[in-house]
Structure 1
């Protein structure tokens, strides 16, 4: 099979890899959709890597597909050949408390595999994972939707789970890329009044289509003043920061109401505050690292039951042989989500 690897210096390569064979407790998934995630750009933009492509890990950590084969010990009651699945893209020891609760990325007993980073990922025809990582995908959802739920959309869901009940609240989402749009869509469906913030008017138009009640562009207005005005001077009960911008995180903190909660998921920014300024407001600041496998299944079920338009997040669909063009376009960060379809 062919797999995509990141060479750094804004280059990718397609190399030949052996078709994987499942070992005990493992399955091989025939990949039908593999999403492109913003975190891929860290590897894409890194310094050039002189390692031969076939010696690197295959990229991609947002897979969905069908079970191709079962390894020893994986019975038909757990998974069956031909079953539609999405993949939780972390695996750990499988036995510690974190792993047993679905938080394999927080495994405390052994090294964690992150597919697409330190283990072969999904930008290939086949992918081998522990059976516990292969999660059922409803017939009501496309493979592309399953891929999105496996990371970007699931990350938005995980942030809302960290914040707790959001129904009836004024909730601000900073950043309206794929994760932010997902948070906007999911929070709206969960009953929040969402205020979407982004520097791009085009993305704010998309946010309105995904349910945002109000939009704010910091290029035009002071975001804190705008949020206070939109909330009758009270401030936001909850904030999700997806952009990875320190300025956005700072504005989000300043716009919180008393007892407000901020959840940061965007990488690259710094969240800080002066205790004297915020002490009497009783605010809570937290982070959220994607989601557990249990939450991933809950998110997929919620999306399917509510018939939410996750597929509308995608503005570009590519084949693997278009990988160079695909990542050049994705690197501009001016469009929506992108996916490789097989």
Structure 2
């Protein structure tokens, strides 16, 4: 029996490396030789420290191979595969939906309502292994210009940021504020630049993250979170950002994003969990602001994101600060859990 190494998350802030059988593709499936597998903040929040959620909420971890940001090469195909070929470079849309509910019909498998919905790395084996079995319909072609690290990041974090940028219709007429400069926040800055935003402002509680975004050329203005942040954003944007995107998921971050949005501007909430309180009349209605909730993206838009990045000549792997081999997956998760890094990727070159 041919075996492979794979990483599991017991839910006690450790990683369990196991030697398991190399899987074989079934009907409509492919086997990928993994090349890069990202660690997402949701992996830390819901799985690494403790197993949180339920199958119905989509957050239940069912003791499968971890990793929902996979990118690799098609190595073998099962019966019925018609589009992708051996040797194709791909990433994986990390939710496998039913294909028939209204959300799946729109390409938003993330919002599939079927009880059998399965997420890679959560309810079916994910990318923290030498090989991955994926449904062919979940694959997205990776342009030659993009690296495998680019690809794994697009499969969740960059795709999520891209959807927010699209929902807000960012253009060259817009100043864009991003609150929370973790990997998704920095991806939003890259994408806003690709769409031609005339000014990019970033807010974070950590000076190190602001410095990283500046070093990468992603910011025109860096603002440290605190009581003076709103005034600083208003001064930098002549009264407010045309588009504000909250990637912090924190009550204070969401409120700042809303209050720092210009009159008639658009405010997008990307960061998950927690709450926000605001004055409906003063903070929303009287300023004619629009609040947009956005969750991950669609298969179509993920493909479009890859094409746009290639056309713009932009690499989201610039945000990667730490790379680890699969054998050091425990160290990779420990670094990501500290929350002081950029993107962390497990590589299988």
What is the TM-score with the length of structure 2 in the denominator? 0.91
Structure 1 segments, 4+ long, off by >3 Å, are none
Mapping for residues 75-224 of structure 1, pairs under 5 Å: 75=82, 78-192=83-197, 193-208=199-214, 209-219=216-226, 222-224=228-230
Shift, 1:122, TM fit: 0.5
Pick the aligned partner of 2:26 from 23, 26, 39: 23
Q: Deviations over 1:64-97 (max 9, x none)?
A: 101111111112xx01011111110111112334
In 1, Cα distance between equivalents of 2:281 and 2:179: 25
Shift, 1:268, TM fit: 2.8
1:259 matched to 2:264? The reply is yes
Whether contact under 8 Å (2:186, 2:218) holds in the other structure is no
Pick the aligned partner of 2:5 from 2, 7, 10: 2
Q: Which residue of 2 aligns with 1:45?
A: 49
Shift, 1:125, TM fit: 1.0
In 1, Cα distance between equivalents of 2:124 and 2:188: 28
Pick the aligned partner of 1:303 from 294, 303, 309: 309
Whether contact under 8 Å (1:188, 1:212) holds in the other structure is no
In 1, Cα distance between equivalents of 2:177 and 2:106: 29
In 1, Cα distance between equivalents of 2:318 and 2:291: 31
Q: Which residue of 2 aligns with 1:34?
A: 37
Whether contact under 8 Å (2:110, 2:296) holds in the other structure is no
- Secondary structure of the 1:324 match is helix
Whether contact under 8 Å (1:236, 1:260) holds in the other structure is yes
Give the superposed CA RMSD: 1.7
Shift, 1:187, TM fit: 0.3
Q: Structure 2 stretches of 5 or more lacking a match?
A: 53-61
Whether contact under 8 Å (2:170, 2:243) holds in the other structure is no
Shift, 1:258, TM fit: 1.2
Whether contact under 8 Å (1:96, 1:109) holds in the other structure is yes
Q: Which residue of 2 aligns with 1:51?
A: none
Range 94-103 or range 193-202, more displaced: 94-103
Aligned positions, number: 332
Q: Structure 1 stretches of 5 or more lacking a match?
A: 49-54
Whether contact under 8 Å (1:249, 1:269) holds in the other structure is no
- Secondary structure of the 1:22 match is coil
1:286 matched to 2:289? The reply is no
1:60 matched to 2:63? The reply is no
Pick the aligned partner of 2:328 from 311, 322, 328: 322
Whether contact under 8 Å (2:162, 2:191) holds in the other structure is yes
In 1, Cα distance between equivalents of 2:317 and 2:111: 29
What is the TM-score with the length of structure 1 in the denominator? 0.93
Shift, 1:312, TM fit: 1.3
